[in-house]
Structure 1
């Protein structure tokens, strides 16, 4: 008798269910979830564009006090930082104030984060300087720096706005935290290195070159240090000194901690004020005949908004900016999303990444009308805003008022600000962006590969450019993700019995762990393999086209190494064998046959799908191919049992591939769930198969139905539909079903071989 006929005969004896159509989820069911109320998604989408609708009607005086304090505090910091970052971007200082004003004002109307402060930031400013340098080198004298920076803000703003409106913010999730930290650390080092020459008054080389070149040239130029160092070094030491003293005093006198916090916050404004006053006292009567001062000062800063108007859109300039748009856009959205998510976690609220991108896009698009250059979330100012007790995004309005006052009332005083002092402010601010040794060590402990990505991003940024550092971190992160998907871990499982003993209860349960030592389970445990003839395999990733061939090979190779071959190849002539099947050797045929007969006969393969959330066509085909190859090896049908299928779409895909349905050799009763009423008068056929088989062979279906109804009383329903006996609710049930069919399978095996 053939193996197929044997299986059919065996199935006829034990089948406990009439043939039914397999129910699967339909495309109509899936679409129905989205079209129940077609207008509601549109309404929700439009309302989500203006989050202030949800909190503005509830605004109160308690919130106002916190917002005023936080807004004034951030305003005191953003004015000197804005001018400093404009200098870093190789732009006149007023452009930093323009960006600061528009950033804090527009963002509050679209924000889902109360803590984030938008404006000029160090990394974006350095990127703008690189873009200006690139465009001016390619098209000398055609456009000025401010025009290039404003156009860059407009184009990047539109791109980020489109990403937010199309709800594509999830793309940012492909860049992990170590990659972001890597290029931020490398950028901070590059910025600090580029500001040291200005701090010391050293000139004569390009401070926008590769970082290592800037460091080398700075060391060579130390003998050329000028008087500017007196203001730069003094300012830097004062900034760190005030912060250290205030932190120490806050720990020493906890009841005065908030006072010392605000003193520390004002250190930027205080140091700039003192340095400006001293520069004025020293330089006001020391102007040379050529109009130069003994130290480099900021000089004239135009009052008010001198560049408000429709931004000029030059197609040639946009083409020239093309190669630099990706990196500028990535910095805009990546830095902001990372900062907003961080403060959302710290302060217990959830941000909407897509809405945050809309806010950034609108801010930069409108900012281009004010002459602003690209702005995004600032880590240092956001931390300051959070610690100041901000309550709502409306604090940005107070900060905008401070910037307006500075623009219209303080610009004469800005004339005497020493640029070395602004360099000190920049170095002091970006130093906080450098990852701490503890944080870097945590990357190594958690994931050494991600530590390598972090180190690569830092090194490429320092020895090449920020642009290449960002591309390196993104490309390596995506490559690591694809490698992990394409090379998932899987394990063949065995069983360990756990016993829970107490005075009142002695219980035991079985758990399944890898047969090979995995470094997680106790190496001294004795792991019992499944019953001979049963294989249990666990997927550790979604079953998709990149990894389907590896899973196929793992199953087929394991079967060939550990299970008996059904056909005796020693009697097959060499000319009749496949070219890739050597078969037993001529001299060792008897030994090979004896070794093969000692192996168990494969009956069932149990696949644990508890970690599989997706499956695709290629994977189903690979599973079909694996079944075909395995059954060629065993020369009889093999049962494939599936445990813990998470999705109806996985169930649909497997049944489409011919899995799950058919005849099971299992004798165990089906798992039933209590108190689930039957629908449409349908009755259950899930009864003890040992009694059921006799009635089916005798054709007494009515007897089965009556016994089923009386036993269950209409109160039980199978957890897994009865028409898919190879799908099981958990791994324990799947293994029990596979092992329970071994005895009945072995009863027919000798007759199969004899025929």
Structure 2
């Protein structure tokens, strides 16, 4: 009769054998995976998904339904207008009229900033909003000219053509840039390449906007002080030199007094609106009220005869055609395309950021690709109708939202109101002082400077803050293009540093769990004697970082060996388990580095094991015959690898 002790021993042995058998079976799951899809299969899959998304290629339903589905996909207005109610229009009408009261004076001021005649700012507030309403997916975004894009255009295009010496040629170049910007934007959306706008990181955009706001503010000193001769440069030093030199000569203080008085008035209305949310309409109509009052003051007092600069003639009427003014054969086409690309990315980044912010508040999804297509087509058509680059404005969108807009119909109301103003009211703006336009632009600038966000960036990520401050300093002390270049360069440098110098972690088992964690993050994690468990923190092991990773791992192993000898540990390292669960792909240089690691470990009496490899990675390791070289020590998890060795 067998003793209970023998039965227990036999039972434990059977359990161990069963676990070992299960472990071997699970290892085969890793090694016998099917071949992953190649590049050709991925391209075919993408084409199939496109086929399913294009309604007229899917012939499972009737042609009529397919055609209507295609139209709804192209023009989202067909979807929401089916459920549009009179109550919605009441809210949109109020929001659109409030929006127009802010848009009209701002558009004139932004046209002045872009070094264009005032009517072009108004033109840009008519056609692009109408096109966007048909094709866009945001309900709140307000379309029109904005300060940053106006500054970009003037600072970059004036290097090709002087707007003062030859305004007609300058205007033609701006229209051509608008066409190129729209073409790039539409292409980004049609080819689902929206990720390109992410190259301008959030931190870089914060710095760029802040720097641009200060530069725009300095540019407004020309109108606020009534300076006749002003520099074409945008950097702070050049502008301050001109301002300082203007004080050395007799100057007219009336422009300054008029502009500052209404700037204080606009800021007070903003302060009151913050105190009482019901007064949201007050800062929205303040710019228009300022224009009306200032124009009346100048007209009644004949202040223009005493040195106050006025807008003078504003051409009214419907947007004239400008198709014949686009310049595709001139010497500057390449430069114009480059400027168009830069402007397209900045405009998209601002618009999508604004649209998504308010979409989250309202609880609906904003389709980024459709937004890009809508922005692209509105700027392409805008370039045919005497408009310059339009995008979503944060300040006007906030007013639109606060006014209770329900749909993009508020953009139509705004556009119609601006058109009526072009037809009937432009002659009344003849005596509008330039200082008022400068004060309106200055009042909108504080919203572009986000000090709190810059502080948060500093707290969270110092490299991100470096990109932020690089963009800020570049725009402020050099040019807008250099500021953007510095920001993008620092952002790319960060990506390269992180990818080339990836970290490695030493893992230990967390008590009373089956999980393994970084021993530095979890001091309670327990290391197993004789086993060193490491995890790569990179998604790619390639020619750029393979040697660094190999040297880093060897350094850890050598240091661990020294620690073991100093502790007089019973066992030195016998097995190195490399967790590559984070590794998404590997190239031949990465495989070669793993082979060198295996050879180094083998010559020192240690074994290398691989845990939790991804599909693409294990497939390439098998093709390179790496798995047989390490004795097939490839496991489903770290726990499986630990269970396979008797340490």
TM-score class, shorter: 0.7 to 0.9
1:59 is displaced (CA, Å) by 2.1
SS at 1:202 equivalent: coil
Give yes or no for the alignment of 1:275 onto 2:275: no
In structure 2, the CA distance between the partners of 1:656 and 1:106, relative to structure 1 (3 Å rule), is same
Say if 1:393 and 1:661 are closer, same or farther in 2 by CA, change over 3 A: farther
| CA deviation map 1:55-89 (0-9, x unaligned) | 23222233322222222211111111100100111
Superposed, 1:205-216 pairs within 5 Å as 205-206=230-231, 208-216=233-241
User: In structure 2, what is the equivalent of residue 24 of structure 1?
Assistant: 34
Aligned to 2:619: 652
**SS at the partner of 2:509?**
strand
- Decide which of 492, 495, 504 is 2:506's aligned counterpart: 492
- Quick check: 1:457 aligned with 2:482? no
Cα gap change, 1:77 to 1:663, in 2 (>3 Å): closer
Matches for 1:124-139 after TM superposition, within 5 Å: 124-137=149-162
Is residue 182–residue 457 contact of structure 1 (8 Å, CA) maintained in 2? yes
Number of positions where the alignment pairs a residue of Structure 1 with one of Structure 2: 603
Check if 1:145 corresponds to 2:49.
no
Match of 1:227 among 225, 232, 254: 254
Does structure 2 conserve the Cα–Cα contact (< 8 Å) formed by 1:641 and 1:660? no
Paired with 2:431 and 2:484, the residues of 1 have a C-alpha distance of 37
Residues 208 and 484, structure 2, Cα contact 8 Å, conserved in 1: yes
CA separation in 1, counterparts of 2:409 and 2:304?
A: 45
Q: CA deviation at 1:139?
A: 12
Asked whether the equivalents of residues 233 and 424 of structure 1 are also in contact (C-alpha less than 8 Å), the reply is yes
- What SS is found at the alignment partner of 1:103? helix
CA distance 1:55–1:624, shift in 2 (3 Å): farther
| Structure 2 residue 314 is matched with structure 1 residue 301 | yes
Provide closer, same or farther for how the CA distance between residues 330 and 32 of structure 1 changes in structure 2, counting only shifts above 3 A. Answer: closer
- TM-score normalised per structure 1: 0.74
C-alpha change, 1:527 and 1:509, in structure 2 (3 Å) is closer
Residues 30, 384 of structure 1: alpha-carbon distance in 2 compared, 3 angstrom cutoff: same
Check conservation: 1:543, 1:614, Cα contact below 8 A. yes
TM-fit CA distance, 1:138: 11
The residue aligned with 1:742 is: 646
1:2-401 alignment to 2 at 5 Å? 22-27=32-37, 39-43=51-55, 48-137=73-162, 141=166, 144-206=169-231, 208-222=233-247, 224-248=251-275, 250=276, 257-258=277-278, 260-283=279-302, 294-305=307-318, 307-314=320-327, 315-316=329-330, 317-319=332-334, 321-322=336-337, 324-401=339-416
- Does the CA contact (< 8 Å) of 2:499 and 2:540 recur in 1? no
Worse-superposed segment, 450-459 or 320-329: 320-329
Paired position in structure 1 for 2:513? 509
User: What are the superposed Cα offsets for residues 527-584 of structure 1, whole Å, 9 maximum, x if unpaired?
Assistant: 432231x2111122213313332222222333345459xxxxxxxxxxxxxxxxxxxx
Q: Which runs of 5+ in 1 are unaligned?
A: 1-10, 251-256, 498-507, 565-593, 665-723, 744-755
Per the TM alignment, residue 650 of structure 1 is displaced from its structure 2 partner at its CA by 3.3
For residues 32 and 131 of structure 1, what CA distance do their matches in structure 2 show? 42
Cα distance change of structure 1 residues 611 and 287 upon mapping to structure 2, 3 Å threshold: closer
Residue 544 (structure 1) aligns with: 541
Aligned to 1:553: 551
Q: Deviations over 1:190-234 (max 9, x none)?
A: 000110231122333316442222124324434634321121111
Q: 1:514: how far off?
A: 3.0
Distance in structure 2 (CA, Å) of the matches to 1:89 and 1:597: 75
1:535 maps onto 2:532 in alignment: yes
Question: Post-superposition shift, 1:493?
Answer: 1.5
Take 1:452 and 1:277, find their aligned partners in 2: how far apart are those partners? 48
Separation in structure 2 between the aligned mates of residue 146 and residue 33 of structure 1, nearest angstrom: 45
**Matching of residues 345-744 of structure 1 within 5 Å:** 345-436=360-451, 438-497=452-511, 508-509=512-513, 511-515=515-519, 517=520, 520-521=521-522, 525-532=523-530, 534-545=531-542, 546-563=544-561, 600=571, 602-634=573-605, 638-643=607-612, 645=613, 647-658=614-625, 726-728=634-636, 730-731=637-638, 733-738=639-644, 741-743=645-647
Structure 1 612/42 Cα, relative in aligned 2: closer, same or farther at 3 Å?
A: same
179-188 vs 438-447, greater mean Cα deviation? 438-447
CA-based RMSD: 3.2
Q: 1:368-393 deviations in whole A, cap 9, x for unaligned?
A: 11111111221111111122222222
3-state SS of 1:509 partner: coil
* Higher mean displacement: 330-339 or 295-304: 330-339
CA contact (8 A) 1:194 1:211 kept: no
CA contact (8 A) 2:180 2:336 kept: no
Distance in 2, matches of 1:453 and 1:331, equals 16
Structure 2 counterpart SS, 1:27: coil
Q: Is the 8 A contact 1:15 1:663 kept in 2?
A: no
Q: Structure 1 residues 394 and 131, CA, compared in 2 at 3 Å: closer, same or farther?
A: same
Matches of 2:196 and 2:334, distance apart in 1: 25
Q: Distance in 2 between matches of 1:103 and 1:340?
A: 16
Change (3 A) 1:74 1:661: farther
Listed one character per residue, the Cα deviations across residues 656-690 of structure 1 (whole Å, up to 9, x for unaligned) are 344667998xxxxxxxxxxxxxxxxxxxxxxxxxx
Q: Is the 8 A contact 1:120 1:374 kept in 2?
A: yes
SS at match of 1:144: helix
Report how far residue 599 of structure 1 moved: 7.9
Deviation per CA, 1:420-469, whole angstroms, max 9, x where unpaired?
A: 00000011112210122x22211111112211221111111110011111
Distance in 1 of aligned mates of 2:585 and 2:357: 30
